[in-house]
Amino acid sequence: MFGSNPFAELSQFVPPAAMQGYIILMVVLVAGGTLFDIVHKGSARYFFDNWRASKGRAQKQLSGGDVMSIAVQTTVRDVLASGEFCNARRRIAHLLGMYGFLIYVVTTVIMVFVYPTLGAPTPGLVTALWYIGALMVCIGGYWFWFFIRADVAAEGQSPFRFMRADLFIVSLVLSTTFGLIWAWLQSADSAWTTLFLGLYLIATSVLFGSVPWSKFSHMFFKPAAAFEKRLSEANGTRSNLPAPADAPAKFGSAANHAHHY
């Protein structure tokens, strides 16, 4: 199973061009949905306006080297290491989902565009990484959904409670779950293969087509927010973005100070 390219096997019934066209459509939906989200919510204007205001109030002028250093720090700590998460379990779950999703998407593109048919044997490493990436998403996603979510872990809400804000994580986990089940059933030549292929396509279409209503586009906005916050701190301007929840001592100090009043 782990050595087979499920999309190459599917090419016996579905033309590779159709699979490639579907992926291109998903990319267009993500790009269009993100642009719509930016325009509708004014995210880009907010960050650029805040950045200009920050530069105008700056107590220290940053050199090009300073800005580059901050960009590297943002990339390494906030993006690659998910430094925004103070809770270790939440960070690990996020990293599993993030890197699993990247591996899953990249290997999907490789398998569909480079090795789309059984006549072009897919390297075992590529197919293995596809399954590993999907499993990483499932592990991180289900762990977060059933054990880490604040409304489940702290508030005692049902783990099956669903809100619009959950659309991204639910569609992501369902997409990879149905994809794995479909690939396994296909390799076993099961009669259920077509059903789970349909479920896989539906969940994947919802994942990439619901960008304006889900948190999918946040993965593009969060690095910009982290970069702006680090710039504001470096030039002496107080950022109006929320402070990270990793300073319990400061919170406790502020709470005690407020209590005296």
Tokens of 236: 């002496």
DSSP letters of 21-72? HHHHHHHHHHHHHHHHHHHHHTHHHHHHHHHHHHHHH-SSPPPHHHHHHHHH
Cβ atoms 144, 169 nearer than 8 A: yes
pTM (predicted TM-score): 0.75
Helix (H, G, I), strand (E, B) or coil at 261: coil
pLDDT tens-digit readout, 16-73: 999 999 999 999 999 998 888 777 666 666 666 666 666 666 666 767 777 788 777 7
CA-closest candidate to residue 121, choices 2, 1, 5:
5
pLDDT tens-digit readout, 238-257: 555 555 544 444 444 444 44
Counting every residue written for the chain, the total comes to 261
